[in-house]
Structure formats: C-alpha cells, structure tokens
Amino acid sequence: MFSTLRRASWLFLTLMVLSCVGMVLFWKNMFLSGKAGGPLGRKSLGTRVLSEAGPPTDGATDDVLLRRFLEKVNNTIDARIAAKVRDNKQAQLQLHPSSRTSHVAGVCQWCKCQQNLTELDVTHTVYHHIIVSDKYKFLYCYVPKVACTNWKRVIKALEGSLASTDQEIDIYEIHRKNWTYLKDYDQAGIQHRLQNYYKFMFVRDPLERLVSAYRDKFVEHPEEYFGRRFGTRIQKMFRNGMWNILGADVTFQEFVRFVIQAEGYDLNEHWQSYNELCQPCAVNYDFIGTYENLEEDAEHVLKVLDVDKKVSFPRRQAQIYNKRTTREVLKEHLDGLPDAESYLRKLWTKYSLDYAMFGYGMPVRDAR
C-alpha cells in the first residue's frame, strides 16, 4: 500500500513539473512572437528580430554580426517606428521613444553586454557622467555634443542659479560648475538613486556627433588644452615628425585616423562611445531622447519630471542652426576624405554598438 502511494505521489509531482514547464514555454513563445503586451509585444523589436534566428555562428567578427543585426532590423522595422530627421532630406532609422529603451535592452541581451553597475569601479567614466538632482529625483547622463550644454542650463535654472535657461552665461562656466555626480555617493546611495530616480540620456547619429566634436574643438573654437593634449599628439602620429607645439591645424583625416585607433587616455569624452559613457546595458534608462527630435523629447522629459511650468528647454538659434543641416556638414567632411569608404568601415567598427543600440542606420558616404 505504501509503495502504491509513493508511486502515486511521484506521478503527481512529475505532472506538476511538466505543467509548469509547459506554461513557461507557452508564455515565452507568446512574448517572443509579439502576441502579448500590445502591438509590439513585451520584447523589444531588436530582441524579437534576434530571437527569430539567433546570432550567426559562422565565426564572423563582432562588427560583422552587428552589421547583420542592423541589416535585419532595417529590413523588418515597423513602419510606425520609422521616421525622418527634421530636415526631411534623409530617411533615417529612428526608433519611437516608447520602444527605444526596450530596443537597447534587446541589443544588450544579444551582445551579452548586460552587467550590474556596481561591478564597475567608481572611477569608471559613467560615474562621472551621470548628474544627480536629489531635489527633482532624476539622473541625467550627459553626452558632449548632444545638447548637454542646454541640459546643464536647465538644471542650473531648476537649482535657481540661473534666472532662466536663456540667460547669457559663459559656456565654459556651465561646464566648470561643481556638479553632483553619481560618484559622489556611497554604494547604498548609488543603488537607491538608480532604483528610484528618473534616468535619461540623449544621443545622435554617432558620425554627426564626431564631426561636431572635430569642428568645435579643432576648427571653430580651438582650445589650448585640446591643441596641446590631442592636437600635437595627432600631428606627431601622422606628420612624420612635423608638428607645432599648439597642435593647430589638425585635419579631419588626421582626426579620424586618430579616433579609429584611440584607446585608453586618448578616448576623450567628446568622441567616446555612448555605450562607454553612459553604460545603457548597466543602467536601466527610463528615457533615451535624440538630437534629431530634441525639442519634443526634451519637452517630454520636463513634463515627466513635472517641471515644464518652471523651466523650458532652450530653443535652437535659427541664425545658427538653419544655415546647414548636420547631415550636410557630415557629407562635406566625408567627401573630403580620400578612400572614404575605408574610413567609414573603420568608423563603423568603432561605433557599431552605438549604431545598433540606438537605431541609427548604417553610415553611408552619400549622407544627403
């Protein structure tokens, strides 16, 4: 009798286990197929695309795998998500804001880039780039050349140190301010803010940002620091011993060659990748805005923070921004490169993860 009861108990437990496994597989299939959680499913577009076939296993290099990933995304992207940049001259892949963060999560899952921020030493770049507002409970990861000056204006206005976001102020004074960063807290304080504060960042096309950095630091507003620190180094690397102590007159070709091979100390924040600066695979950002949709995305953030009645995001100055689009400036600089296709391939490799994460189309020479 006891033997019969024992067999019956084992049979019952076995059936229960099989039932649970079946339910798990059922819901997993529902989520990955996009049949649950609304029109796009609970999984991001990137995750769903990758889940259909999985990463190739033919020994291809990481940049080749990412290129294939983007090609698949470009070919299957939902029409509701596609948008044109503001000047309407370039149909550029832009993820809808509501799917952008989940798309990033999907890419992080595919490239196995997920990690806990506490695993990174507090000296890591990301701790020095996330600005903290305890009063308004938000974390902003600033990215140079992606409207970070204007976002710092907004924060200063919220703090009361600026009468308004349009007040005249020395631009260098904004960046020199003694900001409060995530690095300024202990681990318990860091975890509390990561879990409870609103987290956001802004991105733009990686190559447009690169051209903007070059023009700002080496052409239009050359700084002695950048000239001495990077200009002379670049010239020594590519001019066969011919250089000047101020590091002036660095060409775009020299700058690109330098960036392509830059590592460690040569990776200045103005051309360091978004992935490295803000660690979107370790920080679960609530919102990722874009430079291409800056005013609308900024307004959204201010409304979420419930400060849109207190401050407004600075408007672009028409006399500056309407002269040429950033795509036209990018095309001009790419056209000036000898063997531009070769440089583009190398730049793609450098910033391929940024392109994949944030939904930008692969760089092409004809940027019109």
16-57 per-position pLDDT tens digit: 545 554 543 443 343 333 333 332 233 333 333 333 333 334
Q: What is the pLDDT of residues 147-175, one digit of tens each?
A: 999 999 999 999 988 888 888 777 777 87
Rounded distance, CA 240 to CA 255, Å?
A: 15
C-alpha 324/C-alpha 170 separation (Å) is 25
Give the DSSP per-residue string, 202-218. Answer: EE--HHHHHHHHHIIII
Q: What integer pLDDT is reported at residue 53 of this predicted model?
A: 36
Q: Give all strands of the β-sheet with 138-141 in edge-to-edge order.
A: 130-133, 138-141, 198-203, 287-290
Q: Which of 11-15, 30-34, 314-318 has the highest mean pLDDT?
A: 314-318
24 class by beta-carbon count within 10 Å (0-12 exposed, 13-18 middle, 19+ buried): exposed
Per the model's pLDDT, the better-predicted residue between 55 and 197 turns out to be: 197
Q: What is the number of alpha carbons within 13 Å of residue 41 lying toward its C-beta?
A: 20
For residue 45, give the nearest of 79, 83, 7, 8 by alpha carbon.
79
Instruction: Single out the residue of 360, 362, 356 nearest to residue 49, CA to CA.
Output: 356
Report the alpha-carbon angle 142-258-224, nearest 5. Answer: 65
Condensed to tens digits (0 to 9), the pLDDT of residues 255-299 reads 999 999 999 889 999 999 999 999 999 999 999 999 999 999 999
Mean pLDDT score across all residues of the chain: 76
Contact 245, 236 (CB under 8 A): no
245 Cβ partners below 8 Å, 6+ apart?
A: 228, 232
The number of C-alpha atoms within 13 Å of 238 and in the hemisphere containing its C-beta is 19
Give one DSSP letter per residue of 312-336, joined into a string: -PPPP-HHHHTSS-HHHHHHHHHHT
Q: What is the pLDDT of residues 341-363, one digit of tens each?
A: 899 889 988 999 999 999 887 76
Alpha-carbon Rg for the chain, nearest whole angstrom, is 24
3-state DSSP call for residue 177? coil
- Quick one: pLDDT at residue 43? 33
pLDDT of 191 > 60? The answer is yes
What pTM did the predictor assign?
0.75
